[in-house]
Structure 1
Amino acid sequence: MTRIAQEDLEGSLADAFQYVSHHHPPDFVRALRRAFDAETHPPARAAIEQLLVNSRLAALGRRPLCQDTGVGQVFLRIGCGVQFFRRDGQAPHSLQAVADEGVRRAYRDPHNPLRATMVADPLGKRANTRDNTPAVVHCELVEGDALEVLVVAKGGGGDVKARFATLNPSDSVADWVISQLPGMGAGWCPPGTLGIGIGGTPEQAMLLAKLSLFDPIDMDLLQAQGATCAEEALRLQLFERVNALGIGAQGLGGTAAVLDVKVRTAPCHAATIPVALIPNCAATRYARFTLDGSGPARIGESDPAVWDGIADRFDVPDALRVHLDQLTSAEVAQWRIGQTLLLSGKVLTARDAAHKRLVDLLDRGEPLPVDLRGRVVYYVGPVDAIEGEAVGPAGPTTATRMDRFVEPLMACAGLVAMIGKAERGPEAIESIRRHQGAYLCATGGAAYLMSRAIKAARVLAFEDLGMEAIHEFELADFPVTVAVDSRGRTIHAFAQPPGSN
């Protein structure tokens, strides 16, 4: 019998969630470097370079890789010989309560505060719980007398793109997966890993897909040795076919939408093939540790050599420098898709809640709290700043959620351009074309790098919305890619509006 203090589990979980907030797994960094070396498409290559620089800076600065610091997910493999107790003399708490306390301590850490994402009452007020609880806890009883723990901080961009289907036994799993990719768009922030769960029951297939994402990235080794089973053959086939779609990093085109494809299987009913698909984004964050009753886990540091040779800043010699405070319509009209811009000057921020309030005010004929004429809006909800920062990590959120607000804000309020991540829908693209504006992509998953280009920040409106309030940022060489230009052309091939070319 192994006696494990619940306080040791709480503390280990807190340390692990803090660690993964600013450290990529080494295998992910190595795979990203291979993808960068092989990439020849300039916009995608620039995006991968930003992710590598961000990875190094976040590890050195011990600040989040991404502003979406994720849902706290805890997977426990509990040996049958494990007994929990509390050093404070209380009766053992539920494992849910223990995991919640670990998450609470991690996300409220004053030295590296993490963004609280979880909302309660999902069909009602959707009030933020303020400490990112509750954690999502999965428990499995296994043989042995140790506790194995997998800690995952999973951002919303990947899980929202999850897919499930029950196929017929004669259907092709590979064909089904390939059919899903265009509709998933780029909101999951490629390059990353695809997890495929096959078999079992629907909920089992989804769990298999999720867990497969945290197996080591070893596609280079599999390609070298060749497949030895059906699962490995499927991995190789999907890796080649997915990357041949040309989605590329951040959906900007190129050859590296996925760094690996993982497959886990389970027995299933003879009449079905349950199949689940879940992507992992460029902010891949997880860690494993084991408790054996001897005390809390030591969450190890990665070898600094993983980042050897990676620069501490992103720079493109031929990028166009844009001064937002003097931006004109004629200048916007000169931008072309795929072009790298370095933005300096003042930009406004707004996400879903702020957009809704702005459009509601327009609908009622009431004045807006900020003047949007000739302005650029950045879709972002930053992490709280710490001493010495103008703002915490501040990467882009998915732009398509704001598509329905583009027309009123451009037509009635004079908005000229927007910054976000991933593609725009046909309606938004047509509004951008009609009003001779632009949509610019910032690199999803490079939030700490982005924040270092923000020199000042202040709240202008809707302060009650917290991270979704309207801020004004002062930028200095903030990197973006022109994704939709004033002619309505888009760099995202899977988002072309009808009649575009």
Structure 2
Amino acid sequence: MSTIKQDDLIDSVADALQFISYYHPKDFVDAMHEAYQREESQASKDAMAQILINSRMCAEGRRPICQDTGIVTVFAKVGMDVSWDAEMSLSDMINEGVRRAYLHPDNVLRASILADPLGARKNTKDNTPAVIHYEIVEGDRVEIDVAAKGGGSENKSKMVMLNPSDSLVDWVLKTVPTMGAGWCPPGMLGLGVGGTAEKSAVLAKEVLMEPIDIHELIKRGPNSRLEEIRLELFEKVNQLGIGAQGLGGLTTVLDVKIKDYPTHAASKPVTMIPNCAATRHAHFVLDGSGPALQTPPKLDDWPEITWDVGPSTRKVNLDTVTKDEMLDWKPGETLLLSGKLLTGRDAAHKKIQTLLESGEGLPDGVDFNGRFIYYVGPVDPVREEAVGPAGPTTATRMDKFTDMMLEQTGLMGMVGKAERGNATVESIAKHKSVYLMAVGGAAYLVSKAITGSKVVAFPELGMEAIHEFEVRDMPVTVAVDTNGEAVHTTGPAAWKSKIMEKINVEVV
């Protein structure tokens, strides 16, 4: 029988969460690099280059891979013969580890968890509580998997109750295109099949803790029907042409994972959960000998990647840019933004809407006329930083407010990640506005272009407050131009066509 001490578990959880905030798993880095090397779409290749460069920068600087440092999910397997030297419950110990990790002064992590989700939605300020799954198993050890799951990818989770005769492959291929690019591909798909509705969701989340091994599976060949389906889905999902960040390309998924469980004869519950380009998870075992701390990888594990914006890149002064200048911007074109940039996310947009509807107007210091807004909730800065990691959030969540912002505030353009809805694209064209895309999963890299930051409104919203950034050469892509042409529509369609043409030629 082993005795697990309270502080050992707390320290192990805190260490794991700090570790995964700035270290990608090596299997993810290797898979992303392999996809980068064989990518033929320049837009997707550039996006993956930024993700890999960001990953190495985070490993070196020990700062978060993504500004969304996630909701903590824990799978705890507790041995029946374990005893505890503790005054706290196991859940309280885990949550204390989360609290210490997210408030660590050397690497502050963004607190994103809101209590009272149907009411006040008040930030708990320390990212607790975690979502914890327990299993009582044989033995005298405690085995823990811990992950930090970003909201952008979690929001794209899909669940369905298929008929027993329905095809899982058909459902996945029909569903993945509806997920858009808000989950920051390329990443992994976790599929849970069987049990009951809630069991399939837990299976899907749990299987995402496993390492990327699809290329090993391709080499040795499948040994089961489940492995055959994994291979089929890996090939066919990538043939959809969605590509990195939804820009169109050869790689949409780095792996497809499936975990199943016996189910009712009348049922086939299925949940699909994507993992984004900020894949973060760790594993440790406590056996009574002390805390289980993570072992840092070698920086040699990261490839040497460079990314050059090229001589044709357009430089834009946000302080003087006009709508006439924007008419020349082409879909897919890279811009380097410099000047003052306002920020705002869901909660800020909701407050703006309320103020405008009441006739009260915007608060002092907030003037969107002729300005651009960046959809971001940054990490707090440490040491000499102007701001912590500050990558874009999913722009589609702001679609419901876009027409209001363009119509009533004089807003000229927006910066975010992923696609916009059809109605929003029409509104952008109507107002001769633009939507620019920054790469999700490159938050630390993006933050290096931010030279100054101050809160100008709604400080009570924490990371969702309106900031004014001073940026210098911040790289973005024209995602929707003033005519309403959207690269997230044209790019994947073009690459799906290219991929299918190539397959047809090979078959002939």
Taking structure 1 as the reference length, the TM-score comes to 0.95
For 1:174-228, what per-residue CA distance to the aligned partner results, in whole angstroms no more than 9, with x for missing partners? 0011111121111111110000111111111111111111111111112222222
- Mapped to 2, the partners of 1:494 and 1:261 lie a distance apart of 25
- Mapped to 2, the partners of 1:317 and 1:292 lie a distance apart of 57
Among 264, 272, 276, which residue is 2:271 paired with?
276
2:70 is matched with 70
Among 209, 218, 235, which residue is 1:240 paired with?
235
- Structure 2 residue 191 is the aligned partner of structure 1 residue 196: yes
For 1:50-95, what per-residue CA distance to the aligned partner results, in whole angstroms no more than 9, with x for missing partners? 1001000011110000111011111111111111113xxxxx3211
Among 151, 155, 162, which residue is 1:167 paired with?
162
What SS is found at the alignment partner of 2:456?
strand
User: 1:149: Cα distance to partner?
Assistant: 0.9
User: How many percent identity over aligned positions?
Assistant: 55
Answer with 331-340 or 12-21: which moved more.
331-340
Q: CA contact under 8 A between 1:43 and 1:338: conserved in structure 2?
A: yes
Gaps of 5+ in 2: 493-508
Answer with 45-54 or 215-224: which moved more.
215-224
Q: CA contact under 8 A between 2:33 and 2:303: conserved in structure 1?
A: no
2:149 is matched with 154
1:121 is matched with 116
- Structure 2 residue 74 is the aligned partner of structure 1 residue 80: no
Q: Given residue 236 of structure 2, which amino acid in structure 1 is its aligned partner?
A: R
What SS is found at the alignment partner of 1:383?
coil
2:331 is matched with 337
Matches within 5 A, 1:4-23: 4-23=4-23
Q: Given residue 318 of structure 2, which amino acid in structure 1 is its aligned partner?
A: L
- Mapped to 1, the partners of 2:359 and 2:139 lie a distance apart of 67
- Mapped to 2, the partners of 1:77 and 1:315 lie a distance apart of 48
User: 1:167: Cα distance to partner?
Assistant: 1.3
Q: 1:314 to 1:213 in 2, by over 3 A?
A: farther
- Structure 2 residue 293 is the aligned partner of structure 1 residue 298: yes
Among 458, 478, 485, which residue is 2:481 paired with?
485
Taking structure 2 as the reference length, the TM-score comes to 0.94
2:50 is matched with 50
For 1:260-312, what per-residue CA distance to the aligned partner results, in whole angstroms no more than 9, with x for missing partners? 0001111111222111100000000010111110100121111211113134x
What SS is found at the alignment partner of 1:325?
coil
User: 1:364: Cα distance to partner?
Assistant: 3.0
Q: Given residue 395 of structure 2, which amino acid in structure 1 is its aligned partner?
A: A
- Mapped to 2, the partners of 1:468 and 1:316 lie a distance apart of 34
1:111 is matched with 106
Q: Given residue 85 of structure 1, which amino acid in structure 2 is its aligned partner?
A: D
1:2 is matched with 2
- Mapped to 1, the partners of 2:414 and 2:383 lie a distance apart of 29
Q: Given residue 453 of structure 1, which amino acid in structure 2 is its aligned partner?
A: A
- Mapped to 1, the partners of 2:429 and 2:221 lie a distance apart of 48
Among 376, 380, 383, which residue is 1:384 paired with?
380
- Mapped to 2, the partners of 1:205 and 1:303 lie a distance apart of 36
2:500 is matched with none
- Structure 2 residue 401 is the aligned partner of structure 1 residue 400: no
For 1:224-276, what per-residue CA distance to the aligned partner results, in whole angstroms no more than 9, with x for missing partners? 22222111111111111111111111111111110000011111112221111
Answer with 180-189 or 358-367: which moved more.
358-367
What SS is found at the alignment partner of 2:122?
coil
User: 1:365: Cα distance to partner?
Assistant: 3.2
2:417 is matched with 421
Matches within 5 A, 1:241-256: 241-256=236-251
- Mapped to 1, the partners of 2:264 and 2:249 lie a distance apart of 39
User: 1:339: Cα distance to partner?
Assistant: 1.0
User: 1:495: Cα distance to partner?
Assistant: 11
- Mapped to 2, the partners of 1:35 and 1:448 lie a distance apart of 21
- Mapped to 1, the partners of 2:389 and 2:343 lie a distance apart of 14
- Mapped to 1, the partners of 2:254 and 2:281 lie a distance apart of 16
What SS is found at the alignment partner of 2:283?
strand
What SS is found at the alignment partner of 1:115?
coil
Matches within 5 A, 1:340-489: 340-369=334-363, 370-489=366-485
Q: Given residue 273 of structure 1, which amino acid in structure 2 is its aligned partner?
A: K
Q: CA contact under 8 A between 1:185 and 1:494: conserved in structure 2?
A: no
Q: Given residue 443 of structure 1, which amino acid in structure 2 is its aligned partner?
A: V
Q: Given residue 444 of structure 2, which amino acid in structure 1 is its aligned partner?
A: Y
2:316 is matched with 322
For 1:13-33, what per-residue CA distance to the aligned partner results, in whole angstroms no more than 9, with x for missing partners? 001101101110000000000
- Mapped to 2, the partners of 1:486 and 1:256 lie a distance apart of 29
Q: Given residue 462 of structure 1, which amino acid in structure 2 is its aligned partner?
A: F
Q: Given residue 309 of structure 1, which amino acid in structure 2 is its aligned partner?
A: E
Aligned residues: 490
User: 1:142: Cα distance to partner?
Assistant: 1.1
User: 1:130: Cα distance to partner?
Assistant: 0.6
- Mapped to 1, the partners of 2:280 and 2:312 lie a distance apart of 33
- Mapped to 2, the partners of 1:273 and 1:353 lie a distance apart of 38
- Mapped to 1, the partners of 2:43 and 2:399 lie a distance apart of 23
User: 1:314: Cα distance to partner?
Assistant: 6.0
User: 1:328: Cα distance to partner?
Assistant: 1.1
What SS is found at the alignment partner of 2:129?
coil
Answer with 262-271 or 101-110: which moved more.
262-271
